[in-house]
Amino acid sequence: MTDESGDEFVLQKSNTERDLGIHIDCCLNFSEHIYKITHKANSILAVIRRTFTQLDCQCFTLLFKSLVRPHLEYGMPMSFPFKMKDIEKVEKVQRRETEQVKSLRGLSYEQRLKKLNLPTLKYRRHHGDMIEVYKILHGIYDTDISQGILQLAQDNRTRDHFLKLVTQHSKTEIRKKLFLCQSSETFVVSSRNIQTFESRLNKAWENQPVRFC
């Protein structure tokens, strides 16, 4: 190929590219990104284990939520894991590290999470998607960019919720797992602000099976 000056150059093929901290591979399955973020999280946890000889529940929760979990959740609306091996790889980080709290050893993963007041990372991803949907539909983001990404259904004659989204169709299995298609399968209850919406969402989902196991 040639550039504007007429000089020729060769485009190099790349299987993975990093953009804004997200590793995008040629197959759009984000397995490379999952590997990178779990590796980073495990590296930080290794430092925590070397620094603290003992961790109580309060100290562990504070360190995990502030130093580790942000790496595991960065860019998740884009890189949402949908393969079981990737879902387990992300969840394994939290599952293994909750065992480092001496007082929780011998308890099941579900029991440890309840003691620490932590939900599963899978639950938090779905919870985060709902928050993103609310922000898009209520113009919290730049409307010039987000307008048209999600649309409310215009036909209210059905028995479904009147704020149900227009279903995004896809011919490929990979795209069905991405944010736009997954989000279109839900609805957003009207709330005056995002704090009220999140409070209502937490109350509605407090007994979700995926919350602690």
Split into its structural domains, the chain has a count of 2
- Is residue 132 in a domain? yes
pLDDT value at position 184? 45
Q: For residue 160, what are the contacts with CB-CB under 8 A and spacing of at least 6?
A: 153, 187
- pLDDT digit string (tens) for 58-84? 999 999 999 999 999 988 777 778 788
Do 86 and 26 belong together in one domain?
yes
Q: Is the pLDDT of residue 114 over 80?
A: yes
Tokens standing for 10?
Answer: 């060769």
Do 152 and 102 belong together in one domain?
no
Spatial distance between the Cα atoms of 115 and 82, rounded to a whole number of angstroms: 28
Quick one: pLDDT band at residue 104, thresholds 50, 70, 90? very high
Minimum mean pLDDT range among 100-109, 186-195, 197-206: 186-195
Do the Cβ atoms of 127 and 205 come closer than 8 Å?
yes
- Is residue 9 in a domain? no
Do 72 and 108 belong together in one domain?
yes
Domain that holds residue 165: 125-211
Do 137 and 100 belong together in one domain?
no
CA 76 to chain CA centroid, Å, is 3
Spatial distance between the Cα atoms of 143 and 196, rounded to a whole number of angstroms: 22
119 or 183, greater pLDDT: 119
Query: Average pLDDT of 148-167?
Result: 58
pLDDT value at position 60? 94
Tokens standing for 205?
Answer: 């989902």
- pLDDT digit string (tens) for 11-61? 777 787 887 888 888 777 788 889 999 999 999 999 999 998 888 999 999
Q: For residue 154, what is the DSSP state?
A: S
